[in-house]
Amino acid sequence: DTGVSQDPRHKITKRGQNVTFRCDPISEHNRLYWYRQTLGQGPEFLTYFQNEAQLEKSRLLSDRFSAERPKGSFSTLEIQRTEQGDSAMYLCASSPRTGGFTEAFFGQGTRLTVV
C-alpha cells in the first residue's frame, strides 16, 4: 500500500506531556497538510508544507504546536505540554503538484486522547 501513512494510530497521554506524530506522504507528492478533527466536526486546517517549506500555519496552531518536514519527505507534528482540549483526530494529507489543485489523499489519522 503506497497511501499516506500515519503513526501512531492512537495515542493516550497525560496532560502536560509532549507527543509527536509522524506522517509519511505518498512519495511523489510535494504538498503536505495537517488537519485536526473533533467529534462531529469537519477537518480544520493546521499547517501546510510545500516540499520542506512550511508555507502557512493556522491560528489554531498555538506555540505549543510545531511541525516539520525535513528534506521534503515525512513530516512530524509535535504538541508540547498537552491539554485536554488537544484531544482530537490529527489527519495528514498529501497532494501532487500539478497544473491545478487536485484531490488530497488522507492518512487514517492519529487519535489523541489527553487524560
Partner 1 sequence: SQQGEEDPQALSIQEGENATMNCSYKTSINNLQWYRQNSGRGLVHLILIRSNEREKHSGRLRVTLDTSKKSSSLLITASRAADTASYFCATFPLDDYKLSFGAGTTVTVRA
Interface contacts to partner 1, rule CB under 8 A: 4, 31, 33, 35, 40-45, 48, 50, 55-56, 89, 91, 93, 100-109, 111
- Which of 3, 2, 8 shows the shortest CA–CA distance to 109? 8
Residue number, 38 or 73, with CB nearest to partner 1: 38
Classify residue 64 by its DSSP letter: T
Residue number, 65 or 107, with CB nearest to partner 1: 107
Nearest approach, Cβ of residue 45 and partner 1 (Å):
5
What whole-number distance in Å separates Cα of residue 103 and Cα of residue 43? 15
Nearest approach, Cβ of residue 47 and partner 1 (Å):
9
C-alpha cell at 15: 496532560
